[in-house]
Structure 1
Amino acid sequence: MSLSLARLRPQRQSAAGPVDPDAAVQLVDVTKTYRSGGGSVAALSSVSLRVPRAKFLAVMGRSGSGKSTLLHCAAGLDVPTSGSVAIGGTEVSRLSETERTLVRRARVGFVFQSYNLVPSLTIEHNITLPLRLAGSPVDHAWLESVVEHVGLSDHLQRMPSELSGGQQQRAAIARALAAGPDVIFADEPTGALDLQTATDVLSLLRDLTSSLSQTVVMVTHDPMAAAWADDTVVMADGRIDQVLREPDAATLAAVLGGYHS
């Protein structure tokens, strides 16, 4: 039986509380536990988070703090043990895997540290690949706008190996934007880049919120990267320990240094 997003209309109420249709992403009392030996370990413990539209949020924390699990649950890649997750007004935490895949394809973009471009495809085909896999038509006017915005208009027929690391990451950002998602999740997007190239990529992510009203949620361990965001969530022991409003890099470095590895 075929499924469509028409079946997945925004849900105003869930078992864990009301869904906010004005939030790009919303987590309510999310807990995620994993089996470990004869017991269980809580990677997330009663985490609640609301990310408004057109905002840039950074998520920081030491290794094991829960930031990666937060991203996976918030993006609909993993299902919380309890609590609810909504993307663009649709609760995804109680959907089937097939339904969550449909929501991710239409409403979520991903940018990874390693770019994840297909080496045998041109940049243009890499950018449009998620749309073609979903069987969605390519909006050529939007695609042209996106490609121009990320500065790759003259590189569409090149192969990934012909581009620098920074250009490949720009292609990955264009790919994430192609479907016009509610939110882009960026996982350590500058981890493989030199300082100047990383600055260029972060400036682009920052610009997406103002010029395209795009919501960006970025997981990073780098205080200098997080300083580009509007707000920064600091994770510790599976919980949101602090929320910092427009902090600078020095403040973030000091905060992160206060946690033991």
Structure 2
Amino acid sequence: MTKTYPNGLRALDEVSLTVERGSFVAVMGPSGSGKSTLMHCASGLDVPTSGRVVIGDTDISALSETRRTELRREQVGFVFQSYNLLPSLSIADNITLPLRLAGTAPDKDWLRTLVDRVGLADRLAHRPAELSGGQQQRAAIVRALIARPAVVFADEPTGALDLRSARDVLDLLREMVHGLGQTVVMVTHDAAAAAHADLALVMTDGRIVDTVTAPNADDLARRITKLETE
């Protein structure tokens, strides 16, 4: 797919990508490389100028904005750097908000499974401000998973966390992939974060220029540094 903006900037240049179900993929690259645009188009937040985006069996690039919104609610989970929890709601209500907006009741067994796995079972009545940053991000991960989406997109999910909390969140994402069969695509500038993934895609100038299986943080950092200095 390609994505060209009205000013002529080609943010994605004939990118072709297949993400296997139940895999953890990291997308890395220098600033302006196209990694965020790739996530926006792949998740249905934006549409490519040309090409197709398929989630499950649905070509989302052919859908109306209204239907794309519905599909994102049903099939796509999001985890952002800023958590995006509503301060006036309890953690339980924040987690189940996407389902309630869709008019769907939460699966109580699934909710219990998730909060037990992330260690928040005793925090559900708390407000976000009563939790640490790491706990808030764990709540955001549960919210992303509560509807059993086909794929979760994580945009710099550890950017606001200290090193220990960041490592815990990355370990949790890996557990969700390998323990629950979830598919995760993570955009990050951090080579150490990308090293938690099964596969790292390195981007520059709107293209995927390298694919690294079982990535190593030092090796990824060298690759990115080389791209930034070329």
TM-score > 0.5, shorter chain as reference? yes
Distance in 1 between residues matched to 2:195 and 2:55, nearest whole Å: 25
How far the C-alpha of 1:149 sits from its partner, in A, is: 1.2
Question: What corresponds to 1:71 in structure 2?
Answer: 39
Question: What corresponds to 1:168 in structure 2?
Answer: 136
The correspondence for 2:109, drawn from 141, 151, 167, is 141
Question: What corresponds to 1:243 in structure 2?
Answer: 211
Distance in 1 between residues matched to 2:143 and 2:117, nearest whole Å: 12
Distance in 1 between residues matched to 2:98 and 2:3, nearest whole Å: 28
Partner amino acid for 2:194?
A
Distance in 1 between residues matched to 2:215 and 2:136, nearest whole Å: 29
Query: Per-residue displacement from partner, 1:53-96 (whole Å, max 9, x unpaired)?
Result: 11000000011100000000000110100000011121100100
- Does residue 33 in structure 1 map to residue 14 in structure 2? no
Pairwise mapping of residues 92-131 of structure 1 onto structure 2 (< 5 A)?
Answer: 92-131=60-99
Higher relative contact order (Cα pairs below 8 Å, separated by 6+ residues): 2
Question: What corresponds to 1:20 in structure 2?
Answer: none
Name whichever structure is richer in strand by fraction.
Answer: 1
Distance in 2 between residues matched to 1:260 and 1:253, nearest whole Å: 11
Distance in 1 between residues matched to 2:175 and 2:99, nearest whole Å: 24
Partner amino acid for 2:167?
T
Query: Per-residue displacement from partner, 1:193-212 (whole Å, max 9, x unpaired)?
Result: 01111000000001111110
How far the C-alpha of 1:110 sits from its partner, in A, is: 0.3
Partner amino acid for 1:34?
Y
The correspondence for 2:170, drawn from 183, 195, 202, is 202
Partner amino acid for 2:119?
G
Distance in 2 between residues matched to 1:75 and 1:141, nearest whole Å: 27
Structure 1 unpaired stretches of 5+: 1-29
Distance in 1 between residues matched to 2:54 and 2:114, nearest whole Å: 26
Partner amino acid for 1:217?
V
- Does residue 228 in structure 1 map to residue 199 in structure 2? no
Identity %: 62
Structure 2 unpaired stretches of 5+: none
Query: Per-residue displacement from partner, 1:167-217 (whole Å, max 9, x unpaired)?
Result: 000000000000000110000000000111100000000111111000000
How far the C-alpha of 1:159 sits from its partner, in A, is: 0.2
How far the C-alpha of 1:260 sits from its partner, in A, is: 2.1
TM-score in terms of structure 2 length: 0.98
SS in 1 for 2:39: helix
Distance in 2 between residues matched to 1:128 and 1:247, nearest whole Å: 34
Distance in 2 between residues matched to 1:259 and 1:151, nearest whole Å: 39
Name whichever structure is richer in helix by fraction.
Answer: 2
Off by >6 Å, runs of 4+ in structure 1: none
